[in-house]
Amino acid sequence: MQDSGYPVATLAEATHRADLVIYWACNPIHAHPRHMTRYPVFPRGFFRERGRKDRTLIVVDPRKTDTAKIADIHLQIEQHKDYELISALRAALNGLTIEADKVAGIPTEVIYQVVDTCKSAQYGALFFGMGITMTRGKHRNIDNAIRLVIDLNRYTKFILTPMRGHYNVNGFNQVASWITGYSYAIDFSRGYPVYNPGETSTINLLKRGEVDAMLNIAADAGAHFPQKAIEHIAKIPLICIEPHKTPTTELANIILPPALAGIECDGIAYRMDGVPIELKKIIEPPEGVLPDREIIERLIKKVKEYL
Amino acid sequence: MTKIIRNVVCPFCGCLCDDIEVIVKDNHVIGTRNACRIGHAKFVHFEGAIRFTEPLIREDKRDEFKKVDWDTAIEESARILVEAYKPLLYGWSSSETHAQFKGIELAELLGAVIDNTATV
């Protein structure tokens, strides 16, 4: 992302303008159930008065998911071949001839057809999910996808938005970017921020056994990490800031219970398109729990005493 | 007494739907309107979830947890982080922005690695 830029637009803009929507490697019907009904597919927009009828929906997914079933075009791509397909689309877009019959399991004529659909759209929106960022190629896939969007912008207006899982993944990326210049995997051990996914990213650090203590906050490492990374977590002291019993807290040495942001305390979160939205406090937290920010503040105070 | 709170933002996924109506009775969420199934489950505590309400601590990971007060828990956590050669601060994605901001300050103080779920 640092290499290519980030051509985004708000979800509302996509709702009002988009006549081509691509879901790449995500399944919003199950993972973001209201995404299609609230934003870019079904609602009537200012320039898309007939709603779904005015839009073309393309889904790229190796499986026939429920989202793929309602798509106009479903590209059933082979697993781990996202980079190849993006490159093929870019090649077709830039007027090169694809000599192979199939790329990533998609017949070449379908690739040309998709490129034509993209070029003739008035406003295209590409939404990508974890299926592309977490398979072979990782963040390089996104670099290539961003280049595809840049190439498409020579013909028409095209934007891309990541489908964020947790409600404030984008918030961390935004905050980290404006403080350190990098969006995640930031290593301060040299006194200044260093970013190099593969070297400074969590899974790789844990697999190599480089870290010797861990603080886990507002995520479930124990449920989502590969086995080898979890084995290392089991060996080192683990502090969990976590409201519920999870697979991660089973490995913890210390559990600090926080209030649930957005339900028991207020705060700000960034939507997947980068719009900050204020969360509401709707009920009082149970006695004896603190908001996340207060726990971290108290930790900072104590750490300063010890340093 | 039941009251309905309108225009609540749902803290589950990156869509942050801001049109949720939450039905609250005696400081408990008893229902929602407009939310999807996942968002509804986050508001209404689902059966079987165990909520921690006090800091817990244990020396050995095979032992049972003991309850402690906040001061001791924070002291012990800070000691672990300061004594570590290269601590890792991971997660942050289901937390709000102020906590993340403070978290980066903490990482800088400790010389730690800070990372969020975008990395997995």
Residues of A within 8 A of B85 (CB-CB) are 212
Beta-bridge mates of residue B33: B21
Superfamily of domain A11-162: Dimethylsulfoxide Reductase, domain 2 (3.40.228.10)
**Is the CB of residue B97 less than 8 Å away from at least one CB of chain A?**
yes
Instruction: Determine the residue of chain B that is closest to A286 in CA distance.
Output: B53
Q: Which of residues 109-138 of A touch B (CB under 8 A)?
A: 133-134
Structural domain boundaries in chain A: 11-162, 169-306
Residues of B within 8 A of A286 (CB-CB) are 51, 53
Domain that residue B17 falls in: 2-43
Q: Evaluate whether residue B50 is within a structural domain.
A: no
B22 and A282: CB-CB below 8 Å? yes
Nearest Cα to A269, choosing from A260, A261, A278? A278
B105 and B61 in a common domain: yes
Mean pLDDT within A197-216: 93
Q: Evaluate whether residue B65 is within a structural domain.
A: yes
pLDDT tens figures, A162-182: 998 899 999 999 999 999 999
pLDDT tens figures, A76-104: 999 989 999 999 999 999 999 999 999 99
Q: What is the pLDDT of residue A1?
A: 62
Tell me which amino acid residue A86 is. I
Residues of B within 8 A of A162 (CB-CB) are 14
Nearest Cα to A295, choosing from A217, A237, A220? A217
- A97 φ/ψ angles, rounded to the nearest 5 degrees: -90, 130
CA distance A184 to A278: 23
Q: Evaluate whether residue B34 is within a structural domain.
A: yes
State the count of interchain CB pairs (< 8 A) between A and B.
Answer: 332
Residues of A within 8 A of B103 (CB-CB) are 217, 296
pLDDT tens figures, A279-300: 999 999 998 899 999 999 999 9
Angstrom CA distances, A245 to A40, A230, A253, B47, B90, stand at 36, 17, 13, 13, 17
Number of domains observed in the structure of chain B = 2
Q: Which of residues 12-51 of B touch A (CB under 8 A)?
A: 12-18, 22, 24, 27-29, 36-39, 42-43, 49-51
Nearest CB to A302: which of B22, B78, B97?
B78
CA of B78, closest CA in chain A: separation in Å?
Answer: 5
Q: Evaluate whether residue B49 is within a structural domain.
A: no
CA distance A139 to A126: 16
Sign of the C-alpha dihedral computed for residues A283, B75, A297 and A171 taken in this order = negative
Interface test with B, best of A186, A231, A246, A248 (most B CBs within 10 A): A186
Tokens in use for A102? 């199939």
Residue A152 has pLDDT above 80, yes or no: yes
B65 and B11 in a common domain: no
Q: Evaluate whether residue B28 is within a structural domain.
A: yes
Nearest Cα to B20, choosing from B36, B1, B38, B2? B36
Matching CATH number, A169-306, of 1.10.357.10, 3.30.1010.10, 3.40.50.740, 3.40.50.10470: 3.40.50.740
Q: Categorize the per-residue pLDDT at B115 as very low, low, confident or very high, splitting at 50, 70 and 90.
A: very high
Mean pLDDT within A182-197: 92
CA of A250, closest CA in chain B: separation in Å?
Answer: 8
CA of B11, closest CA in chain A: separation in Å?
Answer: 6
- A98 φ/ψ angles, rounded to the nearest 5 degrees: -90, 120
Instruction: Determine the residue of chain B that is closest to A201 in CA distance.
Output: B119
Mean pLDDT within A3-15: 86
B61 and B34 in a common domain: no
Question: How many residues are listed for chain A in this entry?
Answer: 307
